[in-house]
Structure 1
């Protein structure tokens, strides 16, 4: 993809300017992506002239909104290569998706003495729910180590797995290191001992073409706001036969078949897991976001972001005071630390230069312990990023070095 093609897209994102009209160099896409105007417009229409509730109303606008809401589910299924839209559950975000699987599938299928495998680089959202399951069931958590360059070590994973392993839950792409998991290889290993594989796809969904059949995992989760859509909505994908066997997680309206005081019967998936009034406007805006990134070309954007990461890593490696983390080839995410400068101080100075990065432990404290640092600075690219953002970051780093020199 040429720089010109990406530059032409910057104008689509109203958030990429400061209050005084200056360029804002947003390098925090891994935390949350900026929204194109098409998504803003779709949500505005859904909240305004098109608004009505879904699934219950017999009046025309409600019927139209229901069609729009379920059309979004079908679009998500197409986007991730699902066999059926019945495999797509709308949730508030990837955190809720993982908690849903842990509380529903996990509490039924994981018992005392069973094993749950995570990796060193996981986000807290893919650690804490499984710790809760382990505490309640008597299961044990095994931690898969990383290779020297920050990849999940699949050789070590193979050695850890046992017939007592019931679940392997891993990040498809690390939110700190940008390292990419060989998801199909992980699935094959998990299935070789009869375990299920769950993937945290938050960083993968906006960056690469997904195909659930090709990956062959059992659960997949991602958040709408990281793929240029709104907050408050995410996706849990699971095999239809697995969802069919999972009990409800929350009770209320919409997830029932019939309710009496003696007994309640439940709706089939995915409605079984969508209690209450759903994320109507968010789903419609998510649909618009998927249309936008598909038009841009997910694979093209991914190649572009990886090239920007290479360019930044090369520039940062010229500074003796900067330590880089993760593999040379990352999915548009670069984490680093400056000698003698706390990442929060760097982030504050960069903010004065209209550059936004993430500074902290990135909800990955076990990984920080592994790296031997309390926090890192992280620059992460999106499909709207270009070399002007890197140049602004480097200017800010040079200013920081002069201040702390």
Structure 2
């Protein structure tokens, strides 16, 4: 992703490089020749200097390349095997290759794509838990949602109405006085999930602008036959967006853990066995699943400290304010990975809980989700090693398979 983004910036024509530089980068992309780039070392102003240097070194026959087996090799070896000749850089080209925000932008873009996918998975998994908890779909009524028209909230509420439609479990207690209002983690799912969605929308706008911007310095103004030094390399727009994305994802993980917790406690699950396991006195069931989720959510809260509020002067005080945008992007990526795991853990518990509601059946959409999980993870009769189950569930969430199974029934979700 970094190589693509950097080639694009140079191709915009304001960096003062020859076409041969861009052509070699494109040829490396086409042949899947990918530089090995260090993740640490960027202050996020003069852009991502150290990571971009790692990206640029193979162009001159130095540095290392990634290989198919997950290790690295000298760049000269990989280029030689592909029949590509290293460049001999000319004036301005070395600086143009290392000055920009494409490190934080690459990591941030991939994290954003995962976050947008996870927002849909979160709605699916929340619907499973709401249904299994004998919760109500009344708070998702479109009339209520129109009175607070945040786009993300509206999209999530629409999804939940679709996901809970035609549920025999829901219909079994629609007229029951057992609860007047569900707990916040159930009835406020659209508001919390929607905040993440709205943040994703904002972050997408920021990253789209950044991806099509010239973040080099100095900048060549060809039309005016001029060269000007500026500050377009400063990563603060991306850094703040990445910090916001990270913060919003913590809430997505946190509310998921709270829903998971409710499923395990008979006082809040409306009749499910303790820890979702038969003979709970002899089996710990899903207790350690929730422990894991709680631990991961706590870790997310630590990672969500905004890196962009930090600044350490460098370069003899000339670069006296920096963005730490690469750190912001890396933290957002870590948090979205953690959030995927927490939601996968909730999905495992929700599938178990829905099976325990037998002979009542879940609705068509949530039934499809349970079937997708049961294709990889069997019902838990007794305590067993959960590691493989967790790995399978994370793959279903991360790879989009869980949402795809549901959308085969519902059509595309928002």
Query: Normalised by the size of structure 2, how large is the TM-score?
Result: 0.25
Q: Which protein shows a greater Rg?
A: 2
Larger helix percent:
2
Query: Normalised by the size of structure 1, how large is the TM-score?
Result: 0.25
